[in-house]
Structure 1
Amino acid sequence: MNHHSMRLRGLAAVAALILTAGCGGAEEDGKSAAHGGDAGKSAVPKGPAMREVKAPVRFSTGQAVALPDSAGAGNVAIAGLQHPLPVALHKGMVVITRPDGMEIANGYRDAEPSLITPKHEPLTTIDDLGAVVGSNPARRPIITEHEGKILALSSLVADVPGSGTTKGHHEVELIAAELDADAGKAAKAWSARIPLAEFEYSLDVDEEDTEVVGVTGGIAAVYAQGKLFGVDLGSHRKVWTAPGTYADGAVLAGGKLVALRDHEGDDRRPVGLDPADGRQKWVMDELAADDLTAAGPGTVIVGGYLTGDDEGEKETALIDAATRKKIRTFDETAQTGDCAYDGRSTTVCTGGDSVTAYDPGTGKVRWALPDKSENRVAPKVTLVRAGLVYGTTENGPVVLDATTGADKEDNPGIAPYFSDGYVGIALAESDNTVTAYRVER
């Protein structure tokens, strides 16, 4: 029986700023400047001092900056956002992952973006996407600090041409850009290139599939074409390859790299890997898993079908990522679809027309919407961050308290998909352009 289904993706990577294997080795290519752009050009030009609000509830719609087309390419339709944007923020700097590189723009003031490109020809370029929604394979970059430097990390799959008797092949390139928000500069720092074997991936994996899962202990976990790799941020080299093949969407939580590994047929099993060396620490053989969602700093939600004596019975559980211990099993009526941790104490899950907030350590429900007794509807959630839930209802944008579910601001200006305390990113009402808006105090 085919129990595999598309993994439900979270609205946001869990603690993306806190998270901060295959064949071949990785190469360093880090002494060159940003290709195709001016690496020294200011992404945040000088001007009035930028303001940070750690948990903003209002944004200035009068101070808007349209971002490069790459921010929404292949993800935005006439009806609005259809797929998650491949975007991350750092002090007003907007890092955009492209299928053919990385683009770093300024979300605070108008400025020319910097373009960083790979060593070899990518399988897909931004021009290949056209107006086709869902065609962009780029995933959200990771922002991390290493040895006193702020790095933006993204990955892509490139085509390496053959030479002489050597066959051409694919490789995944991990690109690191150094961000200097104070000086307003962004430049390519280095890249690590890992050759990919032929026909090593299975199930529904596309050859363009790649993402940086996260960073811990100076090691970046990178997914590409069904494989998981570890790249040392100091040496810029691959240090491990995890055995087996995997679904996309692995997460770092509880000191483990949790992933869904291919089993037999089209089944997958949840596994916990050591992010330092890629070795397996635990496996849930009793569950043929369909989906994996980050729930909090130390927990994940896995769902699928039981094996063994209870074969075929559906189960969704909150588990301790460090030990695989089940903390709570949810019934079929529980809302555990797209989930995001608020960075403080609450995990918010959405699906259909409902929103449910949980304690990420126990799975206990804190609040849920809609609530007919209070005449309240559920918002369409866009972002969960810093103890707040941003979203929209028929009344427009709204901000909720993530712990209680109470309305905190009914006129925030926008419902951001991203925020870093300096700007929020949303779609412009006039033409759905991906746009940055300054926070207000």
Structure 2
Amino acid sequence: MAAPQAFDPPANFGAPVVSLQRNSGPLPAVDVLDGLSGWSVGSSGLTRIDFPANVVHPGVFPENPFSEHVNLDREFSGASPGDPVVVDSAAGRLVLAAFPVTIPGQGTRPSRHAVELVAAESGSARKAFSIAVPAPESGWGAGEQIQPVATRVVGVADSVAVVIGTDPDGRHGLSAGIDLVTHQVLWTTPADVVAQEVVGDVVVVQRQSALEPEVRGIGVRDGVQRWAGVPGGSVTVSGSRQVLVGHDSSTLVAVGGRSTAVDVGSGKSVASPLSGQAGWECHDDERSVTVCELMKGLDPYALVGLDRDSGAELWRIVADAGRVPPQVTATWHGAVYGFTDSGPVVLDGRTGMDRTPTAAAAPFLVNEYFGVSAAPGSRPEGKPNYTNRSRQVVVPAIS
């Protein structure tokens, strides 16, 4: 079978070639694309599915048993375990996932809660290695551990993977830096310090306090504190060296609150078109543009394109100003994918102009060969549900 033609980035997609479904059917729903394959994570382990041959490889598992009382077959994005991460590292091209596990007890030693990083070889789909990191004590009772229920790979830099496993509210847990070459755990944080994002060589962490959470920066390889003292709750990456810190995490889906753009190298506030308004959600196109959207209730209110390196505003679409801001499903290599009430649309990431006004799909995963979008279906009110990841279709790039 001839390999599909590559388009970098795709401007439109063809008819579906594969149907996928979470928790049922012969082909599992995927969580990340990797060339001509997708990867899924759940109770079947870390699994590669090849397109369009529809070959499902045996899953890769942690060495330790999965934790009890944790649903690994999540129905929505953001549940545990988090989406796999595909990375080119000094150890080769790897696919990484973090699982909540239990290290069995032995003799008089009790069992322990842990997060296990599982690495698969991208090319062979075989297991490369896995490393379990025990969860810290909670501080609420002698010897009582945090039980991680939400686990994910936060990011990778300098061949160091940053993994977390948090309690149900996400405020306490395990954060660790793991060297992908030596397989050593380089650092961990106290239970009240949780990694949020990896930006360059800095891990942006949040420390809980009785008053207001504090955001800090630590080194990705040594875990040493670079800066501290930034008050705030939510953290979103808004550029190659910048994060946006929201000062009211309750305003994630509504206009209100405030935010500050922070340089991750110094921890100092910097000028940004996004500052002053909390609730922005940003999408990195992995090349030159960061696209940030602000919701008002359940509807898009504003969409802003920023230069990924400088943070300068490139374009802006605001509701009731002549154009309809789409709800973004993905950004990749200078293209913005999303939908309005009129259907799927593709924007030019550098100009914000319509590139494909009537696109065939609004993919939430995209690379040069494929998009993965919600399977055709309707909400009760008759509108397609473009954000449903449980039932998926793979659509080939055609332009």
State which drifts further: 431-440 or 155-164.
431-440
Q: Does 2:221 match 1:276?
A: yes
Equivalence for 1:40: none
Equivalence for 1:437: 395
Q: Deviations over 1:89-148 (max 9, x none)?
A: 110211122266312112333223431222222125897758x76894121111112346
Structure 1 residue 377, shift from structure 2 partner: 0.8
- Given candidates 328, 338, 341, the residue that maps to 1:381 is 328
In the alignment, the residues of structure 2 paired with residue 134 and residue 402 of structure 1 have an alpha-carbon distance, to the nearest angstrom, of 24
Q: Does 2:134 match 1:212?
A: no
Q: How does 1:184-263 map to 2 (within 5 A)?
A: 185-199=124-138, 207-225=148-166, 226-243=173-190, 245-247=192-194, 250-262=196-208
- Given candidates 265, 275, 280, the residue that maps to 2:210 is 265
Q: How does 1:298-317 map to 2 (within 5 A)?
A: 298-304=241-247, 315-317=258-260
In the alignment, the residues of structure 1 paired with residue 362 and residue 334 of structure 2 have an alpha-carbon distance, to the nearest angstrom, of 15
Runs of 4+ in structure 1 off by over 3 angstroms are: 124-130, 132-136, 329-336, 359-365, 370-374
Equivalence for 1:398: 345
- Given candidates 61, 64, 77, the residue that maps to 1:117 is 61
Q: Deviations over 1:330-354 (max 9, x none)?
A: 6787475111122333321112222
In the alignment, the residues of structure 2 paired with residue 255 and residue 113 of structure 1 have an alpha-carbon distance, to the nearest angstrom, of 34
Structure 1 contact 289–302 (Cα < 8 Å) conserved: yes
- Given candidates 398, 409, 421, the residue that maps to 2:368 is 421
In the alignment, the residues of structure 1 paired with residue 274 and residue 356 of structure 2 have an alpha-carbon distance, to the nearest angstrom, of 33
Structure 1 contact 120–158 (Cα < 8 Å) conserved: yes
Structure 1 contact 54–420 (Cα < 8 Å) conserved: yes
Structure 1 residue 164, shift from structure 2 partner: 2.1
Q: How does 1:311-350 map to 2 (within 5 A)?
A: 315-328=258-271, 334=277, 337-350=280-293
Structure 1, unaligned runs of 5 or more: 1-46, 73-84, 306-312
Structure 1 contact 99–156 (Cα < 8 Å) conserved: no
Q: Does 2:30 match 1:69?
A: no
Q: Report sequence identity in percent.
A: 26
Corresponding residue SS for 1:197: coil
Structure 1 residue 439, shift from structure 2 partner: 1.1
In the alignment, the residues of structure 1 paired with residue 24 and residue 281 of structure 2 have an alpha-carbon distance, to the nearest angstrom, of 22
Structure 1 contact 98–126 (Cα < 8 Å) conserved: no
Structure 1 residue 217, shift from structure 2 partner: 1.6
In the alignment, the residues of structure 2 paired with residue 67 and residue 440 of structure 1 have an alpha-carbon distance, to the nearest angstrom, of 20
Structure 2 contact 100–114 (Cα < 8 Å) conserved: yes
Structure 1 contact 303–315 (Cα < 8 Å) conserved: yes
In the alignment, the residues of structure 1 paired with residue 316 and residue 24 of structure 2 have an alpha-carbon distance, to the nearest angstrom, of 32
Corresponding residue SS for 2:18: strand
Compared with structure 1, are the counterparts of its residues 373 and 257 closer, same or farther at alpha carbon in structure 2 (3 Å cutoff)?
Answer: closer
Q: Deviations over 1:64-113 (max 9, x none)?
A: 212352599xxxxxxxxxxxx97111102111222663121123332234
State the one-letter code of the partner of 1:210.
T
State the one-letter code of the partner of 1:414.
A
Q: How does 1:62-211 map to 2 (within 5 A)?
A: 63-70=16-23, 87-98=31-42, 101-123=45-67, 136-147=79-90, 149-180=92-123, 185-199=124-138, 207-211=148-152
Q: What TM-score, normalized to structure 2? A: 0.82
Structure 2 contact 115–148 (Cα < 8 Å) conserved: no
Equivalence for 1:369: 317
Structure 1 contact 67–105 (Cα < 8 Å) conserved: no
Compared with structure 1, are the counterparts of its residues 270 and 425 closer, same or farther at alpha carbon in structure 2 (3 Å cutoff)?
Answer: same
State which drifts further: 87-96 or 333-342.
333-342
Higher relative contact order (CA 8 A, sep 6+): 1
Structure 2, unaligned runs of 5 or more: 167-172, 249-255, 379-387
State the one-letter code of the partner of 1:258.
V
Structure 1 residue 188, shift from structure 2 partner: 1.0
State the one-letter code of the partner of 2:163.
V
In the alignment, the residues of structure 2 paired with residue 195 and residue 408 of structure 1 have an alpha-carbon distance, to the nearest angstrom, of 48
Structure 1 contact 327–362 (Cα < 8 Å) conserved: no
Structure 2 contact 212–232 (Cα < 8 Å) conserved: yes
Structure 1 contact 89–95 (Cα < 8 Å) conserved: yes
State the one-letter code of the partner of 1:251.
E
State the one-letter code of the partner of 1:254.
G
- Given candidates 50, 73, 82, the residue that maps to 2:4 is 50
In the alignment, the residues of structure 1 paired with residue 24 and residue 371 of structure 2 have an alpha-carbon distance, to the nearest angstrom, of 14
Equivalence for 1:289: 232
Compared with structure 1, are the counterparts of its residues 86 and 416 closer, same or farther at alpha carbon in structure 2 (3 Å cutoff)?
Answer: same
Structure 2 contact 42–73 (Cα < 8 Å) conserved: no
State the one-letter code of the partner of 2:39.
V
- The count of corresponding residues between Structure 1 and Structure 2 is 363
State the one-letter code of the partner of 1:122.
F
Corresponding residue SS for 1:191: strand
In the alignment, the residues of structure 2 paired with residue 102 and residue 322 of structure 1 have an alpha-carbon distance, to the nearest angstrom, of 34
Compared with structure 1, are the counterparts of its residues 396 and 193 closer, same or farther at alpha carbon in structure 2 (3 Å cutoff)?
Answer: same
User: Over the residues paired in the alignment, what is the CA RMSD in angstroms?
Assistant: 3.0
In the alignment, the residues of structure 2 paired with residue 417 and residue 125 of structure 1 have an alpha-carbon distance, to the nearest angstrom, of 29
Equivalence for 2:306: 358
